[in-house]
Amino acid sequence: MNFLHTLEMTVQNLACHAFRSILASLGVVLGVGAVIAMLAVSEGARGDSLKRIQTLGVDNIIIRSILTGPNGKSGDSAGKSGLDSYGITTRDLEHISSCFENVRHAVPVRHLHKTIYTNGRSTDLKLMGTTPEFLDVSRSTIAGSRGRWLTDQDSESLSLVCVLGTEAAQQLFGATDPLGKSISAGGFSFRVVGVLANRQGAQMDASSPLENIVYIHYATAKALFGNFLMSPESHRLIQVAADYVYVSVKETSQLPDTVARLRAYLGATHDTEDWMLLVPLELLQQQQATQRMFTIVTGAIAGISLLVGGIGIMNIMLANIYERTKEIGTLRALGGKKRTILLNFMLESMALTGCGGVLGLLLGFVIASLIERYAGMQTIVSPLSVAAALVVSVLTGLIFGSYPAWKAASLNPIEALRR
């Protein structure tokens, strides 16, 4: 009896008890399906999180100024004077740029709190002042070949020019080419010289995508609007040198030390914690650690599911031995060898779990698709998870089918025929 004949017998035996075979593999189907769906959701969330983190730049440190309390950092005196002074100062910018040897650039971004108008129509776009290095640290580019970014010459001549994000350009001018057009803000007219594009969809915060902002030079903004701005939210004067500072480091390996020094410096020079550090590399490492933990938990759930399914397979195979005792005795009496019986039962067990694994994969794909469609969550079914599910399901049949197969092969042919 060759292998092909044994395989044919295996298929016939399973077909004779199709419904029971499906029930036997149901535990494997549900286990594999649930694990595939969970891994797809996890992989999708991980990919989305990593994309968002990497858009910030793993070699960047982002400092954000925070208004602490209703009166800023100066306490009651600020409330009486109507001035909120907080966050990163000009001295901080100069110190970080000159005294931190691992810092390549310290790029300020200042929210100017000015309403932007075009053709007499107001918009909700934000006007920001920044420096030429912002294009590099934000991983942005200038769309098209005719436009340009802000330059140092713009600050020296105090040129009234601006650069629009791609979404801001669409909102202001629609399909019309914005280059050479003008916008108004704070009583000044700015000529559009370029359009900023950021393919990664980076944003400063949840309400500030880089492509939905209007940019002017930091020095020009300071010269035009001064050190004090009126906040439209609180209707109070605010004084802050930069709402955000993008600190780009030279050596990523030294980034933890630079972060520690920045925290120590800001903690020592600020009376209150009116600043916050955002370190994309730390976020990336935390995300990876969380992903590893989730993978371990998912693996444990998968193990329990397959254990339950494997026990069901073993139970069915032991029942098959009792039902097919006469068949086994006849095969042995006609010259069938122990290894033939062993192989036959092993193949049946592996076929049950293998088919269960395939059906579980299909179920997992369906669940992942439904989650993505109706819950709006990105799901990714990786080839590694598919291969692992198939291999593990077959191994489950191999492991849990070993004992029933050995027991069937060990039957005495005379006693089997007598039964």
* Lowest-confidence segment of 20-24, 196-200, 342-346, 384-388 by average pLDDT: 20-24
Model confidence at 19: pLDDT above 90: no
Strands 116-118 and 141-142: unpaired
Confidence of residue 52 (pLDDT cuts 50, 70, 90): low
Question: Which residues face 274 on adjacent strands?
Answer: none
Task: Name the more confident of 278 and 283.
Answer: 278
Span 332-354, average pLDDT: 79
Paired tokens of 4: 């092909």
Confidence of residue 419 (pLDDT cuts 50, 70, 90): low
* 316, 323 contact by CB (below 8 A): no
**What pLDDT is recorded for position 219?**
94
* Lowest-confidence segment of 99-103, 152-156, 174-178, 349-353 by average pLDDT: 349-353
**What pLDDT is recorded for position 6?**
61
Confidence of residue 382 (pLDDT cuts 50, 70, 90): confident
Phi-psi region of 58 (alpha: psi -120 to 50; beta: other; left: phi over 0): alpha
Model confidence at 351: pLDDT above 50: yes
Model confidence over 121-137: pLDDT tens digits?
899 999 999 999 999 98
- Rounded CA-CA distance 112/186 in Å is 9
Span 99-105, average pLDDT: 91
**What pLDDT is recorded for position 81?**
59
Model confidence over 64-89: pLDDT tens digits?
999 876 544 444 434 455 678 899 99
Span 369-375, average pLDDT: 87
**What pLDDT is recorded for position 76?**
41
**What pLDDT is recorded for position 9?**
65
- DSSP string over 263-302: HHHHHHH-SS--EEEE-HHHHHHHHHHHHHHHHHHHHHHH
Residue 85: burial class (beta carbons within 10 Å; 0-12, 13-18, 19+): buried
* 82, 237 contact by CB (below 8 A): yes
Model confidence over 296-315: pLDDT tens digits?
787 777 778 778 778 878 88
**Domain range summary for the chain, segments of one domain joined by +:** 3-52+285-418, 67-273
Model confidence over 214-246: pLDDT tens digits?
999 999 999 999 988 887 777 788 889 999 999
Task: Name the more confident of 331 and 154.
Answer: 154
Q: Is 192 helix (H, G, I), strand (E, B) or coil?
A: strand
Confidence of residue 149 (pLDDT cuts 50, 70, 90): very high
- Rounded CA-CA distance 349/301 in Å is 22
Report the predicted TM-score, pTM, of the whole model to 2 decimal places: 0.63
What is the enclosing helix (H) or strand (E) of 239?
Answer: strand 237-239
Model confidence at 373: pLDDT above 70: yes
Please, which residues have CB within 8 angstroms of residue 91's CB and are 6 or more apart in sequence?
A: 269
**What pLDDT is recorded for position 362?**
92
